[in-house]
Chain A
């Protein structure tokens, strides 16, 4: 099935520092979704990217889809403790499967 690599696996930052997580695929993607899962919680949909080179912003979060539609990134500016959690990308595979990356766990220290 469709596979996507997500890096890094873990990231510790000081509050106020920036954070970026990356998803990479060996094949061209039709779209990519991003989710956030707080500790002990369930994944929550953040956004979907569809167009080549697309950039979308949600407050301090910036989502980018690569020109070749094989990679994507999520960047958080000036992290806050409320940003703690695991961030997943998810891509569409054959037969309407939605395959998730392994996630990046973000910890924010005061």
Chain B
């Protein structure tokens, strides 16, 4: 089944403790992206990647890191999480990105709470 897999689905952590949210897709998509979703603010793009070893900042990159060492994986790293990073996070992938004419496939989401 074609899908984007995120792990974990739920995570509660403490301020300052480094964490990684994994994202993997099995559709051979070039483009991958991370979004956070907060009430009243919709989905905001954190980082995106057009292909292996190519990453770019989205609209809210502060406090986050990403890497794209393999085409299928795009982990999101929070080096020192803070409470304002408590949110619902989605990973998404597509062929060629938003200009390519294909919609994004989203993962099921990771609900992160930083206390």
Interface residues of A (CB under 8 A from B): 1, 6, 30-31, 33, 35, 41-48, 50, 88, 90, 92, 95-103
Interface centre among A88, A95, A101 (most CB of B within 10 A): A95
Given contacts A42-B90, A92-B98, A92-B99, contact A100 B43 (CB under 8 A): yes
Given contacts A33-B98, A96-B97, A97-B58, contact A45 B105 (CB under 8 A): yes
Given contacts A43-B43, A88-B43, A95-B56, contact A33 B106 (CB under 8 A): no
Give the distance in Å from the alpha carbon of A102 to the alpha carbon of B48 in the complex.
20
Given contacts A33-B103, A45-B103, A88-B43, contact A97 B98 (CB under 8 A): yes
Give the distance in Å from the alpha carbon of A8 to the alpha carbon of B59 in the complex.
23
Neighbouring A residues of B99 by C-beta, 8 Å: 30-31, 92, 96
Count the B residues whose beta carbon is within 8 Å of the partner chain — how many?
Answer: 28
Least distance between A90 CB and chain B CB atoms (Å): 8
Given contacts A35-B103, A45-B105, contact A88 B98 (CB under 8 A): no
Q: Is the contact region of chain A dominated by helix, strand, or loop, or is it mixed? A: strand
Interface centre among A6, A43, A50 (most CB of B within 10 A): A43
Neighbouring A residues of B40 by C-beta, 8 Å: 102
Least distance between B46 CB and chain A CB atoms (Å): 11
Q: How many A-B residue pairs have CB under 8 A?
A: 68
Neighbouring B residues of A42 by C-beta, 8 Å: 90, 106-109
Contact pick for B59, options A33, A47, A99, CB 8 Å: A99
Which residues from 62 to 98 on chain B have a C-beta closer than 8 Å to any C-beta of chain A?
90, 92, 97-98
* B104 and A45 contacting across the interface, CB-CB below 8 Å: yes
Give the distance in Å from the alpha carbon of A90 to the alpha carbon of B94 in the complex.
14
B18-53 near A? 1/0 per residue, CB < 8 Å: 000000000000010101000011111100101000
* A88 and B103 contacting across the interface, CB-CB below 8 Å: no
* A98 and B101 contacting across the interface, CB-CB below 8 Å: no
Closest to A1 in B: B59
Closest to B103 in A: A45
Give the distance in Å from the alpha carbon of A88 to the alpha carbon of B37 in the complex.
12
Interface centre among B33, B43, B97 (most CB of A within 10 A): B43
